Amino acid sequence: MPASRLRRWVSPYFLDEAEVTVAALNGVLLVTAVIVAASVHGGTITSVLAVAAVTVLVFWLAHVYTSMLVLYAHEGHTVVGAARHAAREELGMLQATLLPLAILASGVVGILEGPTAVWLALWTGVVVLTVVPVVALRRRARPWRASLLAGAGSGALGLVLIGLKALVH
């Protein structure tokens, strides 16, 4: 795989673009919340994966659509140009969810047991939520303390979701 292609797929985690970082964090928070909600209602690993994947796709489409409307109405883009730009800008939301969704998929195909896959996907979300802000802020030469606090704050959101799962389950 060429380096530019690889960079594009890991970009939601490490690219120095604010929009990508925001989209990635939103995507990981969304997929983590959906995994919690789908798994506490006694769903199978297959149903948890399906609900999470479809929900992420619908939210991504909603983000693309609303961004496209703004670009078309206020920025003077053509409809096609606005759609392309919006889809590219929001791609981080989809890409950032691939790791937790892949872990769930490993539970579907039997590599991991279903409950293990769910918990691993949730903890992966917490790690991503913690690391992405730190990397993004450090790339902008922000102080370590502020970067670590931002990571801790973001990771805490994931921990709250895991706490809800533990409480309800």
Each residue's pLDDT, cut to its tens digit, for the chain (169 residues) gives: 566 665 555 555 555 566 668 888 999 999 999 999 999 877 899 999 999 999 999 999 999 999 999 999 888 889 999 999 888 888 888 988 999 999 999 999 999 999 999 999 999 999 999 998 998 888 888 999 999 999 999 999 999 999 998 888 6
Let me know if residue 117 belongs to a domain. Answer: yes
**Could you tell me if residue 6 is inside a domain?**
no
Range of the structural domain that residue 109 is part of: 18-168
Number of domains in the chain: 1
* In-domain check, residue 12: no
Cα(96)–Cα(140) distance, rounded to whole angstroms? 20
- 2 is a domain residue: no
Is residue 35 within 8 Å of residue 104, measured between CB atoms?
Answer: yes
Question: Token pair of 55, please?
Answer: 């929900």
pTM: 0.85
Q: Looking at the domain assignment, is residue 141 inside a domain?
A: yes
Confidence at residue 92, expressed as pLDDT on a 0 to 100 scale: 86
Residue 11 is assigned to a structural domain of this protein: no
Q: What is the pLDDT of residue 2?
A: 64
Domain presence at residue 9: no
Which residue in 111, 15, 96 sits closest to 60, CA to CA?
Answer: 96
- What tokens appear for 160 in the block? 């709250």
Residue 64 CB partners (closer than 8 Å, separation 6+): 83, 86, 87, 90
